[in-house]
């Protein structure tokens, strides 16, 4: 966050990051109409190129850890043949939950860009709501940019019934 509010750094989004979040929003909107899928999508960029995507598979896989971000992290690690994703950027349609933020940090991801922010969505998406994105910064550089394309996707998360 680098001392800036989540949504005040829109100018720091690259063309590739903007395209990735717009693509994730489109995938989330489409997924919410498919049986068993939730309208949450994520992508991982490496060098400005999407190398992995994921949608929420919690209900499809009967696995509470299959959040879109977790699926995308696992796929990116396979693509790069490495668990170190420090050169990658996480893109998500929803502010990553505590589990996903922790996984990102363990993988070394230092930048996350997301659409819907915690303050504007149903409480069900955060088990430890007192934790914020800033709590995951630690002593290393970590940048979180939220609220990008939020107006296009927020309706999916307001009630928690995506």
pLDDT per position as a tens digit, 47-106: 999 999 999 999 899 999 999 999 999 999 999 999 999 999 999 999 999 999 999 999
- What digits encode the pLDDT tens for the residues 134-146? 888 876 689 999 9
Mean pLDDT (the chain) is 90
Neighbouring residues of 17: CB distance < 8 A, sequence distance ≥ 6: 45, 48, 89, 91, 113
Residues 71/31, Cβ–Cβ less than 8 Å: no
- What digits encode the pLDDT tens for the residues 51-67? 999 999 998 999 999 99
Active-site residue, selected from the candidate residues 17, 55, 57, 69: 69
Quickly list H helices, the chain: 15-31, 58-61, 68-80, 98-107, 150-153
Is residue 69 part of the annotated active site? The answer reads yes
């Amino acid at each position: 966050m680098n001392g800036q509010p989540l949504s005040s750094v829109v100018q720091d989004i690259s063309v590739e990051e903007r395209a990735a979040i717009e693509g994730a929003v489109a995938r989330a909107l489409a997924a919410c109409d498919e049986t068993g899928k939730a309208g949450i999508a994520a992508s991982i960029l490496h060098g400005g190129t999407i190398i992995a995507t994921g949608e929420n598979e919690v209900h499809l896989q009967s696995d509470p850890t299959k959040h879109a971000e977790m699926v995308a992290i696992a796929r990116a690690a396979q693509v790069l043949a490495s668990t170190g994703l420090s050169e990658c950027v996480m893109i998500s349609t929803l502010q990553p939950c505590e589990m996903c933020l922790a996984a990102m940090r363990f993988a070394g991801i230092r930048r996350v860009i997301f659409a819907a922010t915690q303050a504007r969505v149903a409480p069900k998406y955060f088990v430890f709501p007192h934790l914020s994105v800033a709590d995951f910064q630690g002593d290393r550089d970590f940048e979180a940019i939220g609220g990008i394309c939020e107006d296009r996707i927020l309706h999916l998360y307001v009630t928690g019934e995506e």
